[in-house]
Amino acid sequence: MQSPNLGAIPRQREPSDADDLPFHHYSLQHRAIAWISRHLFDRCTYTVRHGLIRGMRRKGGLGWIPAGIAQTKEEMFWRGLALDGLVIYDVGAFHGILTLFFASRCSQVISYEPNEINHARLVENIRLNNLTNVQARKFGVGAQAGFGTLRYAAEMAGGGTLDPCAIGPVSQRVEVTTLDHDIAASTLPAPDLIKIDIEGWELEALQGARETLATHQPALFLEMHGNTPREKRCKARAIVAFLCDAGYTDIVHVETGATITPGDETVAAEGHLYCLCPTNISPHQLVKQAPVKQAPKASSA
């Protein structure tokens, strides 16, 4: 999946206070792992030994390291979901870790990854596992169909953003679609769950899925992003307002289990949101909330 803010270098300006200082999603450990993976092991094919896709085959990353790494709250959340029979959209698939995890459990996966190199690796990892229930679509996702510029740092290719205000040492022109358009034009199956992690462009992806949300009311799993703490809160506030207007009033903060309502952007901005439309809660969706609120705290991987 894509991760923010080293891949997309924030626009330059003088910070007025700590809230305006750049937020670095990637730690030194993340960057070291990315460098080692890209320069030393990028061509290696191996069986993953820890994490959500343990036992599956892949290229990229350091999944060959033995088990023993602590689970994150996000991983515990995904393990607690009942995914059998669902159609899941993975928007921002990167190399396909969540795509592979979903495909091993659900009925069908529709994955979106616009970065040319990432998309090729996604397709490769799907083929390594002989998965036939995945469509890997080479599009960015936004509020309008057309073309956009994906910006990122070469060492953190999973951190690309379509934000026109961002800058980055590497840029790539990509085709952009909306979920509403792509589902209709390509006769894709209706989603039961949509995961969106696209480096601060989550609201735009939701805006381009208004008809899909209104018609099918899928569950939503969203990662919160922003170039600064202030921007993260602003984006989270706008996303929560959009969700409530769309009927998604059952919003849970994955890391804490807290219920999110308008005005809770400080909590909402840190981590992930799981969102349901109460008028269309299925047995699968009801099961999904319990593990988050009861899970013990896990240390960072």
Q: Which CATH class is domain 18-294?
A: alpha beta
Whole-number pLDDT of residue 2: 44
Mean pLDDT confidence for 93-109: 98
DSSP H or E stretch at residue 111: strand 108-112
Residue 119, pLDDT > 60, answer yes
As given in the structure block, the two tokens for residue 44 are 């290696």
What residue spans define the domains of the chain?
18-294
Task: Say which amino acid occupies 1.
Answer: M
What are residue 222's phi and psi, to 5 degrees?
-125, 135
What mean pLDDT is predicted for residues 5-12?
A: 45
* Reported confidence tier of residue 54, pLDDT bands at 50, 70, 90: very high
Instruction: Show the tokens assigned to 116.
Output: 């040319």
Label residue 43 by pLDDT band (50, 70, 90): confident
pLDDT of residue 120: 97
Report yes or no: 239 and 173 within 8 Å, Cβ to Cβ.
no
State residue 4's pLDDT score.
39
Q: What pLDDT, on a 0 to 100 scale, did the predictor assign at position 31? A: 64
Mean pLDDT, rounded, for 218-228: 94
> What pTM did the predictor assign?
0.85
Residue 7, pLDDT > 50, answer no
Question: pLDDT > 90: what percent of the chain?
Answer: 64
* CA triple 180-183-184, angle to 5 deg: 85
pLDDT band for 94, please (50, 70, 90 cuts): very high
Span 244-296, pLDDT tens digits? 999 999 999 999 999 999 999 999 999 999 999 987 665 455 444 444 443 44
Q: Which residue has the higher pLDDT, 30 or 155?
A: 155
List 191's β-bridge partners, or say none: none
Q: Element (H or E) spanning 148, and its range?
A: strand 146-153
Q: Which has the higher per-residue pLDDT, 64 or 39?
A: 64
| The pLDDT of residue 5 | 41
Query: Above 60 in pLDDT, residue 107?
Result: yes
- Give the pLDDT score at 299: 38
Q: For a pLDDT cut of 70, what percent of the chain falls above it?
A: 81
Give CA–CA dist 99/260, Å, rounded.
27
